Structure 1
Amino acid sequence: MSIIEYSHMGGDKLDFIEIFKALGDENRIRILNLLMREELCVCEIETMLGMTQSNASRHLNKLKNAGIITSDKKSQWVYYGINNEFIKENNLLYEFLKNKINENVQCLKDVERLKKYKSSGFTCEQLGEDKKQVLKFLR
């Protein structure tokens, strides 16, 4: 175990290196970018970023296991958001990430796509029923 440790909500100790490992992937940074704006379910994340559900879930699990994000089951959907404890314990890192993400061209495109999706009124249910229609709208 490293000298530097991060304690998250469950009281377990996590090696701080795990946080950086979780942040060391472009897809996870893109997911984090969206979750910094609002809670989203996996179907919304996969649609916004053009990933498969299994790939999005794998990245979400890595972020969750590092204590960076949390999940909340609402009806049949699981929504993900930034872990407030992570922000509190790692405020400088969080602010650094926010600033760098806001300078990244791909992340800015992802945010525009998210805004378009949210303003459309589409729901997770519609994504499950006719994802092609939603994707067509987002192009």
Structure 2
Amino acid sequence: MTAVEIFKILSDTNRLRILNLLYEKELCVCELEYLLGVSQSNLSKHLRLMSDAGFVESRRENKFVYYRIKDEVLEKHSFLKNTFEIELKKEDYLTEELDKLNSYKKSAINCQNITALICEKAIS
């Protein structure tokens, strides 16, 4: 993956929001949907693009798919560490989403709960 390809990935706000959370923790699609308030179809589009580019990788656990940033990308492109750990912390909306992630990690909510909440929200 080239630096130009990385900057193309980072140029979209939704992908930047997703990666900001994935830099902190591997997350399931439903967790990203819950934390970001983005539709599953929108998330899937961005995750597929990032996966095809070699930026993220996924694993399946039962019916849930978990994503994370590839270690090789972070190791090969050292500027990303500075981007995620310093530069993105200057953006209020991104730090608010990290705060939401930290609250989520401390809660009893899990993928099964989130799926039920999302379905309930869609019905109402």
Indicate the SS of the match to 1:36. helix
Report the CA distance between 1:16 and its aligned residue. 4.3
Q: Is 2:67 the partner of 1:80?
A: yes
Q: Which runs of 5+ in 1 are unaligned?
A: 1-5, 7-14, 135-139
- Indicate yes or no: 2:110 matched with 1:123: yes
2:25 to 38, 44, 56: 38
> Residue 36 of structure 2 corresponds to which residue in structure 1?
49
The SS at the match of 2:25 is coil
CA distance, structure 2, for counterparts of residue 59 and residue 128 of structure 1: 20
* RCO comparison, higher one (Cα < 8 Å, 6+): 2
Equivalent position SS for 1:130: helix
1:53 is displaced (CA, Å) by 0.3
Q: 1:77 to 1:37 in 2, by over 3 A?
A: same
Higher helix share: 2
Count of residues in Structure 1 that have an aligned counterpart in Structure 2: 120
- Calculate the aligned-residue CA RMSD, in Å: 1.8
Which residue of structure 2 aligns with residue 19 of structure 1? Answer: 6
- The offset of 1:59, in angstroms, is 1.1
- TM-score, normalization by structure 1: 0.79
How far apart are the structure 1 equivalents of 2:91 and 2:35?
16
Q: CA deviation at 1:133?
A: 7.9
| Bigger Rg, which one | 1
What letter is aligned with 2:26? Answer: E
Q: 1:109 — aligned with what?
A: 96
Shift of 1:132: 7.5
Moved over 4 A (4+): none
1:62 and 1:20 map into 2 onto residues whose CA distance is: 13
**Alignment partner, residue 62 of structure 1:** 49
What SS does structure 1 have at the residue aligned with 2:51?
Answer: helix
5+ long unaligned stretches in structure 2: none
